[in-house]
Amino acid sequence: MPSADEAALEKFEQLKISSDVKEREFSHHATGVARLNHGSFGSCPASVQNAEAEWRDKWSKQPDSFMVHRMEDAILESRRAIAKVINSPTVNEVLLVDNVTTAAAMVAQDLMWGFLEGRYQQGDAVLLLNFAYVSIKTCFQRLAAQVGARLIYAKIPFPISSPSHALESFRHCLTQAREEIQERVIRIAVIDHITSSPSILLPVKDMVSLCRSHGVEQVFVDGAHAIGNVDVDVQQIDADYYTSDCHKWFFSPSQVAFFHCKSKHLDSLHHPLVSTTHGQGLAAECASVGSRDYSAQLTVPAVAEFIQRETGGLEGLRRFNHESAVAMGKFLAKEWGTACGSPAEMATSMVMVGLPPVLNVRSFDEGLQLNARLRKEFQVEVPLHHVPEEDQDAADEVTKIPAITAYARISHQIYNNREDYLQLRDAIQYIVRERDKLHIHAYLCGRDAELVGLSLMEGRQTEATDEKNETVSTLFSLETLLVTAAAIVGFQITPLIQSQVKASCLRKVLTIPVRNG
Tell me the per-residue pLDDT of 416-459, one tens digit each, with 9 for 90 and over: 999 999 999 999 999 999 887 766 656 555 544 444 444 444 44
pLDDT at 13: 55
Rounded Cα–Cα distance for residues 425 and 246 (Å): 30
| pLDDT average, residue stretch 359-373 | 95
Rounded Cα–Cα distance for residues 315 and 307 (Å): 10
pLDDT at 276: 87
Least-confidence region, from 19-23, 401-405, 448-452, 458-462:
458-462
Q: pTM (2 decimals)?
A: 0.83
pLDDT at 350: 98
- The conformation of residue 201, written as its DSSP 8-state character, comes to B
- Mind listing the pLDDT tens digit for each residue in 203-237? 999 999 999 999 999 999 999 999 999 999 999 99
Q: Determine if the peptide bond prior to 2 is cis (ω within 30°).
A: no
Nearest Cα residue to 78 out of 303, 384, 244, 263: 303
CA distances from 118 to 112, 115, 265 (A): 10, 5, 18
pLDDT at 322: 97
Q: What is the CA radius of gyration of the chain?
A: 27
Task: Please list, in sequence order, all residues whose beta carbon lies within 8 angstroms of the beta carbon of residue 325, skipping any fewer than 6 positions away.
Answer: 347, 348, 349, 350, 351, 410, 411, 412
In the predicted structure, residue 500 carries a pLDDT above the cut 60: no
pLDDT at 14: 54
pLDDT at 19: 63
In the predicted structure, residue 471 carries a pLDDT above the cut 60: no
Strand order across the beta sheet in which 406-411 lies: 350-354, 406-411, 384-386
Query: What type of residue is 202?
Result: L
pLDDT at 445: 57
- Mind listing the pLDDT tens digit for each residue in 478-499? 444 554 444 444 444 444 444 4
In the predicted structure, residue 477 carries a pLDDT above the cut 80: no
In the predicted structure, residue 267 carries a pLDDT above the cut 60: yes
Nearest Cα residue to 395 out of 445, 442, 339: 339
Could you tell me the pLDDT band of residue 9, with boundaries at 50, 70 and 90?
low
| pLDDT average, residue stretch 115-127 | 94
- Mind listing the pLDDT tens digit for each residue in 64-107? 898 888 999 999 999 999 999 999 999 999 999 999 999 999 99
Q: Determine if the peptide bond prior to 383 is cis (ω within 30°).
A: no
3-state DSSP of 127-149: EEECCCCHHHHHHHHHHHHHHCC
Nearest Cα residue to 126 out of 262, 259, 240, 218: 218
pLDDT at 467: 40
DSSP state string for 175-186: HHHHHHHTTS-E
Q: How many CB atoms lie within 10 A of CB 249?
A: 28
- Mind listing the pLDDT tens digit for each residue in 234-262? 999 999 999 999 999 999 999 999 999 99
Please state, for a pLDDT cut of 70, what percent of the chain lies above it.
81
Beta carbons of 234 and 76 less than 8 angstroms apart: no
In the predicted structure, residue 190 carries a pLDDT above the cut 90: yes
Beta carbons of 475 and 465 less than 8 angstroms apart: no
In the predicted structure, residue 333 carries a pLDDT above the cut 80: yes
CA distances from 499 to 140, 228, 403, 454, 459 (A): 50, 51, 18, 11, 14
Nearest Cα residue to 504 out of 445, 447, 434: 434
pLDDT at 436: 75
